[in-house]
Structure 1
Amino acid sequence: MQKTIETERLLLRPFRLSDSERVAKLAGDKAIADMTAQIPHPYEPSMAIAWIETHQPAYDEGRSVVYAITIKGDDNIIGTVSLPSLNGGLGVLGYWLGVEFWGNGYAYEAARALVDYCKEHLGLRLLEVSHLVGNERSKSVINKLAVTYVENKVVAVHGRDREVCVYRSEI
């Protein structure tokens, strides 16, 4: 069973199907799709339901771990932090926050907590993370996590080629 993770200001908990409307609302903001490689625009509640339904089976198989980010005292999600790929000690970090929650340090706080938890409990030894070129907020989170820049590469994002900065470090 996936455990809840607590930080100074946040509670990271497993998603529930009842979060799907909120996920669709937050992730459905075009600014989120523009800054992420995996979130389409528009983003519908049915997409959120399908996504949430993948979490527990993937966690049970040790392939990934996904958390809803909430502010302590308020069960409404503000975003997500995850290792959508976890294999042989290598975890690929992903995260997004609703636009209204940007600039408060929540992404770093959640990512740090998840990395520390997965290192201690899930065998995480190597962390990889990337951001689209121009996503300075994500770059700031990665720099605070002290993950080492490796290279830029071009990937297909929403049907077109985009350049991403790739980081990787032992933790």
Structure 2
Amino acid sequence: MTETTSPWRGAVPIETPRLVLRELRRGDAPRIARYVGDIGVARMLAVVPLPYNEKDAETFVAAMGAINADGRGLGLAVAEKGAPDLLIGVMSFIGALPVVEIGWWLGRPYWGRGFATEAARALIAVAFREPRLDRIVAGAFFDNPASLHVQDKLGFARTGESQRHSLARRAFVRHIDTEIVRPASA
């Protein structure tokens, strides 16, 4: 993309029945470090090293801010409506149109409560507001059935398998690749 501003910037914050997806802030770094530093979270992400500390989180927040500003995607904090300043996870998409890749993580205390599905559904709807976007790709490591279940619920189709390097695992791991195409009504 060659724009200097994001085509999605005006969509933030995004509200769902239970959640607020908002810009990441430097003050989110301690919670990011705590949640992403959990091996149960980190091992399901490709680009997260272990150990993961607050400086890593600050670098991540700055990188997401740059991506949001220059239009390469949208990286947002996920928070409950009743506590919008307390990050519970991150939801993002990044790429070069006509394709972006969506990804997310939630802190372990927030697993199994439908938050990932709710937040991803809202972010996908915002992404497809961009008329040049044809499809969103995603996926998960083979041993992350929860993420694959969320993708199934959202309508992602499995397109194959690949190998992705996991920094936390220090190894290549089998990855299930998925995608969702622009709905006819979007």
What range describes the TM-score normalised by the shorter chain of this pair? Answer: over 0.9
- Tell me the alpha carbon deviations over residues 68-108 of structure 1, each in whole angstroms, 9 at most, x when there is no partner: 0000010201001000x221121101000000100000001
- Percent identity, please: 29
Q: Does 1:81 align with 2:95?
A: no
- Given candidates 97, 102, 110, the residue that maps to 2:106 is 97
Residue range with higher mean Cα deviation, 11-20 or 34-43 = 34-43
What's the RMSD between the two structures over aligned residues?
A: 1.4
Unaligned runs of 5+ in 2: 1-8
Structure-2 separation of matches of 1:44 and 1:164 = 26
Considering Cα pairs closer than 8 Å and 6+ residues apart, tell me whether 1 or 2 has the greater RCO: 2
Q: Tell me how far 1:157 sits from its aligned partner.
A: 1.6
Q: Tell me, what secondary structure is at the counterpart of 1:48?
A: helix
Q: Tell me, what secondary structure is at the counterpart of 2:43?
A: helix
- Given candidates 41, 50, 66, the residue that maps to 1:41 is 50
- Given candidates 149, 167, 180, the residue that maps to 1:169 is 180
Kept after mapping to 2: 8 A contact 1:32/1:39: no
Q: How does 1:7-46 map to 2 (within 5 A)?
A: 7-46=16-55
Q: Tell me how far 1:143 sits from its aligned partner.
A: 0.2
Q: Tell me how far 1:58 sits from its aligned partner.
A: 1.5
Q: TM-score, normalized by length of structure 1?
A: 0.94
Kept after mapping to 1: 8 A contact 2:24/2:65: no
Structure-2 separation of matches of 1:100 and 1:57 = 29
- What's the counterpart of residue 154 of structure 1? 163
Q: Which amino acid aligns with 1:102?
A: W
